[in-house]
Amino acid sequence: MQVIDARDMAEWMLSLGERRVAGTFNATGLDRPLTMSDLLEACRQAAGSDARWIWVDEAFLLEHKVGAWEEMPMWIPERTDDAPIGILQADIGRAVAAGLTFRPLLDTARDTLAWDAHAPGRSRAALGYAARPRNGAAARVGRARETGSVARPRPSGIVLGTAWSPRGTREGPR
């Protein structure tokens, strides 16, 4: 999985311009392998939450028709007909060599949460979340769990998402 703080991207792009560096770069991040567990843990810490995760494997998500990326952010099935498998595996070595740096993920999560809480007009309702009906697979799975018609998966050894290192080795949650 690859994410980048927009401030890191902006600082790097300005630096490239100031140094008159030109070229083509894959600029995403981080400069180390990042798992879904890493991302969620940073978000949990930033929010001061005691949330607990229930990890499910890709087969479970596909069986329940959970929509990749929109209903399950940062997840794309390993096998897909309409998206390259390597979409979250860009080699960023050239950008890092050209000075791209990354702030700690926890800082990005904290700052994003603070910004969202105080940004005018950025409420969930203003963004359309409240108006959008919950009618996809997430709603079906949620309702089925509420009524007990779908068994909750056991959390031990079950993976919610996968991430890939720059070398392409699979990593799941820790």
The answer to whether 33 and 165 have CB atoms below 8 angstroms apart is: yes
Residue percentage of the chain with pLDDT more than 90: 31
What lies within 8 Å, CB to CB, of 71 at 6+ separation is: 136, 137, 138
Cβ contact 89:24 at 8 Å:
no
Alpha-carbon Rg of the chain, whole angstroms?
Answer: 18
Residues 109-134: tens digit of each pLDDT: 999 989 888 876 665 555 555 444 44
Inform me whether the pLDDT recorded for 174 exceeds 50.
no
Instruction: Report helix angle 105-118 to 36-47, nearest 10.
Output: 50
Reduce the DSSP state of residue 129 to 3 states and report it.
coil
pLDDT tops 90 at residue 152: no
CA–CA distance, 94 with 34 (Å, rounded to integer): 19
Q: What tens digit of pLDDT does each residue of 129-148 get?
A: 544 444 555 555 555 545 54
Confidence of residue 106 (pLDDT cuts 50, 70, 90): very high
pTM score of the predicted model: 0.64
Q: How confident is the model at residue 22 (pLDDT cuts 50, 70, 90)?
A: very high
